[in-house]
Structure 1
Amino acid sequence: MTTFPEYIAQNEERDGVRFSWNVWPSSRLEATRMVVPVAALFTPLKERTDLPPIQYEPVLCSRATCRAVLNPLCQVDYRAKLWACNFCYQRNQFPPSYAGISEVNQPAELLPLFSTIEYVVQRGPQMPLVFLYVVDTCMEDEDLQALKESLQMSLSLLPPTALVGLITFGRMVQVHELGCEGISKSYVFRGTKDLNAKQLQEMLGLTKPSAAQGRGPQPEWVWFKFLQPVQKIDMNLTDLLGELQRDPWPVTQGKRPLRSLGVAMSIAVGLLECTFPNTGARIMTFIGGPATQGPGMVVGDELKTPIRSWHDIEKDNTKFMKKATKHYESLANRASSNGHIIDIYACALDQTGLLEMKCCTNYTGGYMVMADSFNTSLFKQTFQRVFTKDVQGSFKMAFAATLEIKTSREIKVSGAIGPCVSLNAKGPCVSENEIGTGGTCQWKVCGLDPSTTLALYFEVVNQHNAPIPQGGRGAIQFVTQYQHSSGQRRIRVTTTARNWADAQTQIQSIAASFDQEAAAILMARLAVYRAETEEGPDVLRWLDRQLIRLVGEHTCRVSATIDPNRKQLIPVFVFSVRSLVFNNSPDESSYYRHHFNRQDLTQALIMIQPVLYAYSFNGPPEPVLLDSSSILPDRILLMDTFFQILIYHGETVAQWRKAGYQDMPEYENFKHLLQAPVDDAQELLHTRFPMPRYIDTEHGGSQARFLLSKVNPSQTHNNMYTWGQESGAPILTDDVSLQVFMDHLKKLAVSSAA
């Protein structure tokens, strides 16, 4: 008999799905009492080495309102060559190609092993990959040089048939012609005036009377000036990038350079809209500072007026924010409706306007990367990892995807939170109760990679007085259609089912099926989503109310049936979510929330609750509590917060290191101790996307603040002299510790449950 943790791990490994509850309450009333909704974390392109794509197309249910894909949960009559859809119970005839099937000769899609299966769509043309570089030239020479080298390096990683284009911008915006031999030619646009797609089409000469209308790419003559295959223009473009200079417009002292980012992005979106509608493409935007003129500007050119802060936003003292956000939102909507991805690489010491631009990456599934400079390994390594290939030699990126969900009659889909936009597809399985991007059963995800994870929320709609028969199961089917990086269209189908249980009589089995890690992330995504649209204090109050209800529910109904530790993690995580939702600059918050809303469960858990390892002479490295009591003088700590990897040397270890003991042959073991966390850190630095910031610090060092701000302040200046405590480092803070928070929470939960 498999235990629930094993069952959960198997499902995640095979299907990329983690549910908050793995046995579902069979009535709407009971489901609302559970506090945490029935919800799932779903990774559509979870890497599977044992999943070869099938070279034929899926068999669909013939009912027009259903169209579910044949799967292992369907009932099959092999003699009559019929199958009954497990979602709408329609009986369907198998197509002629299935004439030879029998109990011993089953097609792959009927085998339980293939609850996730991938089909290759044979019809339709193969599409080329399109990469459009949009490059800021208002930056220091050193930064620009580093960026140019990274871009030249990326050309060597692209497939020879991929199409590439280049737009550069400073005070003016230049669209470069790539077909010219021996001469650089570009179309120059004013950075203060926005152009719609029609105007841009005429100015770039992209119109012709015989232009093919409608879907799909335009004939080659339309785009060949601006988008060329890498194999044709590799040398030309490498030279062109090498010759790029800083923006020539003089910048007066006390002023910011005039940067026309809003118009440059608008032209990039418009260019792809005219040439490759409804085809996968990436707009890769590299910016070295905020937009300071034209549509989309986020700050004026006077250096003495700083870019907006949370304080300004609260006081509604933001001159440009609403207008800029509106501009970038319209670009994001245009790009996502055509299946185009927008990536933003923002490298500057100050804020660059990610708060206003976040929708460009969040709606289109693009990457958002934030670093101090283009000359850091953080940017260089991260950018190189975008072009990582799988074992077959294809990019680990998918384009222009759509996700559709089918559900059994007793359950409906409320919405999704993640890098997607709604396709407004109404259907029998759409709930009226919207969570996140709701009111639809189909979403567009323009950019996908193997770690992109969506949070999907469901509503049990079965009424209390209509019991589900004993042994009944609820089923959900995820259908992801996407453009593979090889140019093929593919369809990946995942069908999964869970048992129903009557919460009146089987509360134990529902409680035992609770996946607290998935539930913590699903609730945290809801909190982050609300933080984007509501006032901060309201979100905190909502979080605390949910937590009190959950702990109260646990105390009253579940405590007799399950180990209290099963729900212990959730309060700890919610306590930590506050730092994810608040306490950063507006740009940093947008950056952290962007990654939290797209990463898989393991990475998201690290973001909420960083991992801390201790290295000492007492034995091998061991995980320790993220608590001030873990900071001891004779220890080295390694902290992984997802965005940072930090090595902290305790007071005594730091003194020994300064004295140079590690260089003396008799202290060989001390040398090994110092090296161990460095080796472990390197392993994390080489695999993660985006690459984390690496910090090496010690007791009393200025960067030790990164560790002290994350640990639970169990020892503060208020209680540091308490008798009999283990001597960890006291933290100078007025924040409450986790223990105080938990004690207060239990008191509230019991009083509200009474």
Structure 2
Amino acid sequence: MDFYENEDKNGIRYSWNVFPSSKLELIQLVVPLGSLYTPLKQTKNLLTVNYNPVSCRVCKSILNPYCQVNYQNKTWICPFCHQGNTLPKGYHSITPTNLPAELFHTYTTLEYKLSRAPPPSVCYLFVIDLCTEPDEFEVMKERLLEAIALIPENAIVGVITFDRNIRVHELTFSQLPKSHIIRGDKRHSTKSIKEMLGLPKIPVVLERKDITNNNKSNSSPYSTIHRVLQKASNCEFVLSTLIEQLQPSYWPVLVGQRPDRAVGNAIHVAETILSSRAGAGRIVALLSGAGTVGPGSIVGFERTHAIRSHHDLLKGNAKYTAPAKKFYHEIAEMASQNSHSIDIFSVALDQIGLFEMISCPRLTGGCICVCESYKHENFKKSLNKLFQPNSSHFDARIQVKTSQNLQYIGCLGNCFSANPQKAKKKPTISLSGTNVGKNLLQKSSQLRISTLTNNQTFAFQFDLVKKKPNQDQNEDNKTQRKQQQQQQQQQQKKQNKTQQQQQQEIGLIQYRTLYQHNGEGWRVRVTTTAHRIVSAQTRLQLIKCGFDQEAAAVIIARESMNKTESAKPKNVVRWLDKNLISFSTKFGTYVQNQPRTFQLEKNFSLFPQFMFNLRKSPLLKIFGYSPDETTFHKHCLFQENVQNSILMFQPMLFQYSMKDVPKPVLLDSSSVQKDCLLLLDTFFVVLIWRGKKIAKWAKLGYQEQEEYKDFKALLQMPIRDSYNLLNDRFPSPRFIQCNQGTSQARLLQSRVNYSQRYTTSNQNIQQLPNLQFENNNENACLTDDVSFQVFMSHLKKFVCQN
């Protein structure tokens, strides 16, 4: 079974592609039944049609290749609720040889262009931190001007700056700049902010004539919002002039104190302004430090009081954290309900409070970019990619439907639960009583994402429906009684029976994504997948052949991140170890009490390695990482697809040498040689490492000599490959070049597996002269970390003795 082909076609991968037949069998498989779905993936041969989809009158599922169509009566049976539907007039001419695209099995993913009125233009509201060093502030203005030039002309823009106070700038008159000032050290309600700024209580649609006609807007009751939010093409000069004339904060900062930053109030004011306008929007926050003033503050003024660490959070010594998280969560819910996303660019050497602010990008589909300086290239590339055409889509809603033999549990991803209105009839969608995640799904199969990128991926989990006893016998008796009715009804009921029998063997899942395509028109992308349901007792080998170990590892990684919200990382690691032992016991082949006989099949063999690297990755290893860094890593894991997610806990390592062509090598200390170059891709960092011999040759300048042009080409190969990674990824990762033995080389040392270790001739490890290299390998390391070989030996021991 080709999982990659299915991903290229439908943008989806399942942990189990053949489903078990009961809840108990699924529990015994250890790995949950889940999918990783990228709704807007640029799939192969994606077909876009210019008409509205045909939906079921009962459950609203979309017509798909797995529906049973009666070409004579012009009807079709929904495979999800088994109800009959009449085809619209436009479909009355279809025949088995003349089918619409949605009935072809080659188009299990189809996109529809809806005939709806175009949505309002997207609004970009910039929130700029003025408490920045002067040299950094000038670079920030240059980068911001470059990015603003990429904004579409029909987009709406606005600017807010803040330090101790918040300034809402008007964009109507360049010669006399005007701004509204709001205190930042006081908590304001949304109602009071609207009253202070003169904003409408009900969201209004800013029509083109209202925005361009500045003279008439002064007499309008909504004149403030017209002056604050302007069309990009109309205020290009005013906006550029405003940014060029911005100056760093003039508030004095005493020695030993932090600047006054009203971060929480600034984001609250920005969301309040956007909520006064109908339509999608983005809040782009450029932050240079932690909030110290007003609601949302995470630290006090005195620098003697350090920002909270993981140790403080575990001990309950972070007094600012709980109220700040609650404040930002309220803003995030408000933004998500209004189809607004919040993007955070953290540009600072210290923490800015991402741990407390994570609800803002997580619930709205916003992005997070972390860098140390505005001068770094990854900030420039990430900010520019934010405004690239066709890179982001808005106001998305994802709905998941399952057949009656499956239950939908929930979603783990950066999204918000959109609770639909209660229907009069009993819902036909199967929902399980278990909820995954605290803020992602609460007994609802509809999700909202304010901003949806082409690469954004969601993890959905499913369960099997518990069958009722004597269900098949009751259905047969009911069918016999139906045969006594009229001939037309009898034929219809036979079709229903056939459909139900097929549903007992096949599980159907349909994903429907409604979104604003690039802020222009409405589109719906529909993906329908079918899976065989077999008994694990009699056909376990068929289920094993459908196991996707890469997708399963990512689903387990997301579930472990979800558990860290309420459990300590060490307890999550124990949960991983327990599941891995159960998994290996279930699918491994071995002789009792003989660990050397333990083996896993090919499509299971990498799963223990994934779990080993997940245990030691920054996702679960909090030592040496700040809460902000850990939060950033978790956010990216919940955002990315399978390949990028695996890189986060099992990086790729490529080797370049004069002896061989560039090739991927094991993430092991044996691959670290002094006569080669290595390219390490951890998703967050792209690192080029030079061995001692290569670094010495480069220092002597051999690459500048004509007779050593091959050496020059060798030095350029990893740089060229790294640029491809930097240009394709968002947010752009850090790019580092280092030599063996330098301080930055520790990034490579911390991720490789040390299969070569020190040995001692004496049991006292403190006697350093007795330390020796195993196999005379100079890459051996004195470390407390367990190697993969030792990890596997213990795993085999536990499994064979279980």
Q: Give distance in 1, aligned partners of 2:774 and 2:194.
A: 76
Q: Give distance in 2, aligned partners of 1:184 and 1:214.
A: 26
Q: Which of 616, 620, 631 pairs up with 2:657? A: 616
Contact 2:362-2:414 within 8 A present in 1 as well:
yes
1:480 counterpart letter in structure 2: T
Contact 2:588-2:600 within 8 A present in 1 as well:
no
Contact 2:13-2:37 within 8 A present in 1 as well:
yes
1:149 counterpart letter in structure 2: E
Q: Aligned residue pairs: how many?
A: 734
Contact 1:581-1:593 within 8 A present in 2 as well:
no
- Aligned-residue offset at 1:556: 6.1
Q: Give distance in 2, aligned partners of 1:252 and 1:721.
A: 52
The equivalent of 1:572 in structure 2 is: 609
Q: Give distance in 2, aligned partners of 1:96 and 1:638.
A: 59
Contact 1:72-1:109 within 8 A present in 2 as well:
yes
Secondary structure, in 3 states, of the residue corresponding to 1:710?
coil
Q: Give distance in 2, aligned partners of 1:558 and 1:418.
A: 41
Give a deviation string over 1:627-680, Cα, whole Å, max 9, x none: 111111212111111111111111222222223222333333222222222221
- Aligned-residue offset at 1:197: 1.9
Secondary structure, in 3 states, of the residue corresponding to 2:325?
helix
The equivalent of 2:304 in structure 1 is: 304
Q: Give distance in 1, aligned partners of 2:139 and 2:67.
A: 56
Secondary structure, in 3 states, of the residue corresponding to 1:53?
strand
Contact 2:12-2:36 within 8 A present in 1 as well:
yes
The equivalent of 2:464 in structure 1 is: 460
The equivalent of 2:436 in structure 1 is: 435
Q: Give distance in 1, aligned partners of 2:119 and 2:774.
A: 71
- Aligned-residue offset at 1:381: 1.0
Q: Give distance in 1, aligned partners of 2:672 and 2:34.
A: 38
Contact 2:120-2:205 within 8 A present in 1 as well:
no
- Aligned-residue offset at 1:302: 1.0
2:784 counterpart letter in structure 1: D
Q: Give distance in 1, aligned partners of 2:604 and 2:612.
A: 14
Secondary structure, in 3 states, of the residue corresponding to 2:235?
helix
Q: Which of 26, 36, 45 pairs up with 2:40? A: 45
1:523-538 equivalences under 5 Å are: 523-538=556-571
The equivalent of 1:60 in structure 2 is: 55
1:7-18 equivalences under 5 Å are: 8-18=3-13
1:241 counterpart letter in structure 2: I
The equivalent of 2:383 in structure 1 is: 383
1:490 counterpart letter in structure 2: R
CA change 1:680–1:128 in 2 (3 A) is same
Secondary structure, in 3 states, of the residue corresponding to 1:690?
coil
Give a deviation string over 1:247-274, Cα, whole Å, max 9, x none: 1111111111100100000101111112
The equivalent of 1:655 in structure 2 is: 696
The equivalent of 1:336 in structure 2 is: 336
2:99 maps to 1:106: yes
2:231 maps to 1:192: no
Contact 2:307-2:351 within 8 A present in 1 as well:
yes
Contact 1:116-1:494 within 8 A present in 2 as well:
yes
CA change 1:202–1:489 in 2 (3 A) is same
Q: Give distance in 2, aligned partners of 1:505 and 1:345.
A: 54
The equivalent of 1:358 in structure 2 is: 358
2:83 maps to 1:90: yes
CA change 1:659–1:460 in 2 (3 A) is same
The equivalent of 1:26 in structure 2 is: 21
1:680 counterpart letter in structure 2: D
- Aligned-residue offset at 1:555: 2.4
The equivalent of 1:411 in structure 2 is: 406
2:537 counterpart letter in structure 1: Q
Q: Give distance in 2, aligned partners of 1:78 and 1:726.
A: 76
1:212-227 equivalences under 5 Å are: 213=202, 221=220, 222=222, 223-227=225-229
Contact 2:10-2:43 within 8 A present in 1 as well:
no
Contact 2:669-2:756 within 8 A present in 1 as well:
yes
Give a deviation string over 1:490-515, Cα, whole Å, max 9, x none: 11111111111111111111001100
1:576 counterpart letter in structure 2: N
Q: Give distance in 1, aligned partners of 2:681 and 2:670.
A: 18
- Aligned-residue offset at 1:48: 3.4
Secondary structure, in 3 states, of the residue corresponding to 2:410?
strand
2:178 maps to 1:153: no
Q: Give distance in 2, aligned partners of 1:701 and 1:304.
A: 32
The equivalent of 1:742 in structure 2 is: 792
Q: Give distance in 2, aligned partners of 1:266 and 1:621.
A: 51
- Aligned-residue offset at 1:582: 2.1
Q: Which of 574, 579, 588 pairs up with 2:629? A: 588
The equivalent of 1:544 in structure 2 is: 577
Q: Give distance in 1, aligned partners of 2:759 and 2:555.
A: 35
- Aligned-residue offset at 1:603: 0.7
2:777 maps to 1:727: yes
Contact 2:758-2:772 within 8 A present in 1 as well:
no
Secondary structure, in 3 states, of the residue corresponding to 1:112?
coil
2:235 maps to 1:233: yes
Contact 2:157-2:231 within 8 A present in 1 as well:
yes
The equivalent of 1:76 in structure 2 is: 69
**Greater shift after overlay, 401-410 or 564-573?**
564-573
Contact 1:645-1:681 within 8 A present in 2 as well:
yes
- Aligned-residue offset at 1:724: 6.8
The equivalent of 2:724 in structure 1 is: 683
2:354 maps to 1:317: no
**Greater shift after overlay, 685-694 or 450-459?**
685-694
1:730 counterpart letter in structure 2: A
Identity %: 40
Secondary structure, in 3 states, of the residue corresponding to 1:322?
helix
**Greater shift after overlay, 407-416 or 480-489?**
480-489
Contact 2:774-2:780 within 8 A present in 1 as well:
no
Q: Which of 251, 254, 276 pairs up with 1:252? A: 254
Contact 1:29-1:463 within 8 A present in 2 as well:
no
Structure with greater Cα Rg = 2
- Aligned-residue offset at 1:149: 1.6
Give a deviation string over 1:603-631, Cα, whole Å, max 9, x none: 11111111111111221012111111111
- Aligned-residue offset at 1:171: 0.8
Contact 2:588-2:598 within 8 A present in 1 as well:
no
Q: Give distance in 2, aligned partners of 1:413 and 1:382.
A: 35
- Aligned-residue offset at 1:132: 0.5
CA change 1:263–1:490 in 2 (3 A) is same
1:681 counterpart letter in structure 2: S
The equivalent of 2:452 in structure 1 is: 448
- Aligned-residue offset at 1:751: 2.5
Q: Give distance in 1, aligned partners of 2:773 and 2:602.
A: 29
The equivalent of 1:503 in structure 2 is: 536
The equivalent of 2:766 in structure 1 is: none
- Aligned-residue offset at 1:464: 8.8
2:436 counterpart letter in structure 1: I
**Greater shift after overlay, 8-17 or 123-132?**
123-132
